[in-house]
Chain A
Amino acid sequence: QITLKESGPALVKHTQTLTLTCTFSGFSLNTDGEGVGWIRQPPGKALEWLALVYWNDDKRYTPSLKSRLTITKDTSKNQVVLTVTNMDSEDTATYYCAAYYGSSGYRRVADYWGQGTLVTVSS
Chain B
Amino acid sequence: EIVLTQSPATLSASPGERATLFCRASQSINSNLAWYQHRPGQPPRLLLSAASKRATGTPARFSGSGSGTEFTLTITSLQSEDFAVYYCQQYHYWPPEDTFGQGTKLDMK
Contact = CB atoms under 8 A, between A and B. Distances in A.
Interface of A: 39, 45-49, 52, 60, 62-64, 96, 102, 106, 108-111, 113-116
Nearest to B44: A113
A49 B96 contact: yes
B107 interface: no
Interface residues of B, number: 26
B99 interface: yes
A49 B98 contact: yes
Interface string B40-59: 00111110010000011000
Contacts of A111: 46, 55
Contacts of B32: 108
Given A63-B97, A96-B43, A110-B46, A47 B87 contact: yes
Contacts of A39: 44
Interface string B3-34: 00000000000000000000000000000101
Given A39-B44, A60-B96, A108-B98, 19 more contacts: A45-B102, A46-B100, A47-B44, A47-B89, A49-B89, A49-B98, A49-B100, A52-B96, A64-B1, A96-B43, A102-B56, A108-B34, A110-B36, A111-B46, A111-B55, A113-B45, A115-B42, A115-B43, A116-B43
B91 A109 contact: yes
23 contacts: A39-B44, A46-B87, A46-B103, A47-B44, A47-B87, A47-B89, A49-B96, A52-B96, A60-B96, A62-B96, A62-B97, A62-B98, A63-B97, A64-B1, A96-B43, A108-B32, A109-B46, A109-B49, A110-B44, A111-B46, A113-B45, A114-B43, A115-B43
